Chain A
Amino acid sequence: MNEEKEKEFEPVIVGFFCNWCTSAAADMAGTARLHYPPSIRPIRVMCSSTVDPVYLIRALQEGADATILGGCHPGDCHYINGNYKARRRVAIVKTVLKSLGFDDERILLEWISGSEGPKFARVMNEYTELIKKKGPSDFKYIDSLGGD
């Protein structure tokens, strides 16, 4: 089992997807039979702004190699301005991580509307490729004995 793991690194990516757009895009990508990697673990949330940044780093600490926050395009928020707030929160958490010497690219904020099934599949593919290239995250070793 371990040997297999070493052969090909299959990242775990937790996605927090807005109910009104990115989740619908995921459904659309599925019904259109577009291929996207099984590394994504989607969680449906009512708005990108309901995701406190602590949940993003919590996912990374519990073992995810990356997290995606998917929201509506600017101006299209179902709750008028939730995505702008989400953007500020992501900017804050990314700045904290970068400031302490972590890889801030392991958190991704992406705007994917309900009609953008192909974009959803493309982003998931490209991001998985990127994380595969980066290798496993060492943020999961926060509060553990592992790591270097």
Chain B
Amino acid sequence: MYNDKLRDFIKSAFEKKLIEAVMAPAPTKDSYTYALITRKEDVDKLTPIAPVMQWNGADMLRRITRLKKSGRKLLAILRPCETRTFKELVKFNQINPDNITILSYDCPGTVHAREFKNEKISEEELIEKMKKNEISEKVRDSCNVCEYPTPIKGVGDIGFGIIGVEEPVFFSLSDNGKEFLKNMGIEEGERDDTKWIEIHRNNREKWLKEERIKGGTKGIEDFLSSCLNCHNCKDACPICFCKECFFEDHSVFDYESDKYFRWADEKSGIRLPTDKTLFHLGRLIHMGTSCIGCGLCQQACPMDIPLYRLFGIVGNDLQKLFDYKPGVNDDIPPVMDFREEELQDFEGLPEEGD
């Protein structure tokens, strides 16, 4: 029903010539993919609200607009987390937002792509639960503790409200969205999403307290002990957009064999391949301040390491330090900015008696 509603919306936008292309999820045999379509006839192939998030949609937009702005008027249908990613990537100059209109919706959460492959679930089922303000036990960990499960004013253009209303409503999130809805001839509606946000935030509070990885070297080594060093988490991460990575081409950390033998002497044996844990710590340092919380690192992990516990919780600490919320407003990302008077606690020798 909700997907039909959105498909009708897209078709009518095509008819009114407000858009020339759409990017939204489309079903495949065992999962969902993102699809870019340019004709009204293809709209029925789309499932705007999908129960699976195989990739981050903002990452897909980055891929098609990183060289040049979108050449056609594009409507992208993104989840709230993807919309925040979009905003964050625009700040990093990775996406050219010109000509792109974003529609986001009240998100019921998504199922782990591998679990979905084994046991199919329809988006209607997740949405029905959401309408009763219940989070399905099948959704991914990161969806369960999502901080912003609904569209935010100022992030994206158009909101599609599902919670607390019989008939879904459209509302604007930006001036562009307001204009768009006006041209579509759609009356803006209202709905109340506070309860849905509240249950997620409560889950999140509890999760931040209980799931932290502690214990220094032993803690992190135990947590990552089954890691294959495949770097899938990095590839799935929308914030890890660098073309060259410290840890990908090992020329930065390439040594002659003598060094490895010496380290083996000193550390009572080294693990091979080397730098497996250092990779995760390095990644945390580079992207933690902008971690959106999409949880795709965890979904991409072939060994089912609950990586979102690492990136989400440490990321939360970093974001608290800079009083920064990635993707929810126009603040500059901490790694691109500085103040002259700040962070004095991090300078100099620790005080005596500490």
Contacts and interface: CB of A to CB of B under 8 A. Distances in A.
Interface in A85-110: 85, 87-96, 98-103, 105, 108-110
Interface stretch (B37-45, B112-120, B171-179, B283-291): B283-291
A130 interface: yes
Contacts of B288: 92, 96
Given A96-B285, A102-B217, A145-B271, A130 B277 contact: no
B153 to A, nearest CB: 29
A127 interface: yes
Contacts of B350: 105, 130
Interface stretch (A17-25, A27-35, A52-60): A52-60
A93 B96 CA distance: 30
A34 to B, nearest CB: 17
Interface string B278-299: 1001101110110000000000
A50 to B, nearest CB: 14
A37 B191 CA distance: 67
Contact of A94 (B282, B346, B349): B346
Contacts, number: 140
Nearest to B345: A91
Interface string B116-146: 0000000000000000000000000000000
B166 interface: no
Contacts of B266: 63, 140, 146
Classify chain A's interface size: 35 or more
Interface centre among A61, A87, A141, A144 (most CB of B within 10 A): A144
A135 interface: no
B92 interface: no
Contacts of B215: 101
Contacts of A102: 216-217
Nearest to A139: B217
B203 to A, nearest CB: 20
A8 interface: no
A54 B269 CA distance: 22
A85 B338 contact: yes
A130 B354 CA distance: 11
Interface centre among A92, A94, A98, A148 (most CB of B within 10 A): A92
A108 B340 contact: no
Contact of A92 (B216, B268, B313, B318): B318
Interface in B284-323: 284-286, 288-289, 313-314, 317-318, 321-322
Interface centre among B220, B276, B337, B343 (most CB of A within 10 A): B343
A142 B280 CA distance: 11
A94 to B, nearest CB: 6
B220 A142 contact: yes
B339 interface: yes
A84 interface: yes
A103 B217 CA distance: 10
Contact of B276 (A100, A109, A139, A143): A143
B318 A58 contact: no
B165 interface: no
Given A81-B338, A102-B216, A145 B346 contact: no
B216 A100 contact: yes
Given A92-B288, A144-B271, A145-B268, A58 B218 contact: no
26 contacts: A54-B278, A54-B286, A57-B281, A57-B282, A62-B263, A63-B263, A63-B267, A87-B342, A88-B343, A89-B285, A91-B343, A92-B321, A96-B318, A99-B314, A101-B214, A111-B347, A130-B350, A139-B216, A139-B217, A142-B217, A142-B277, A142-B278, A143-B278, A144-B267, A145-B271, A147-B217
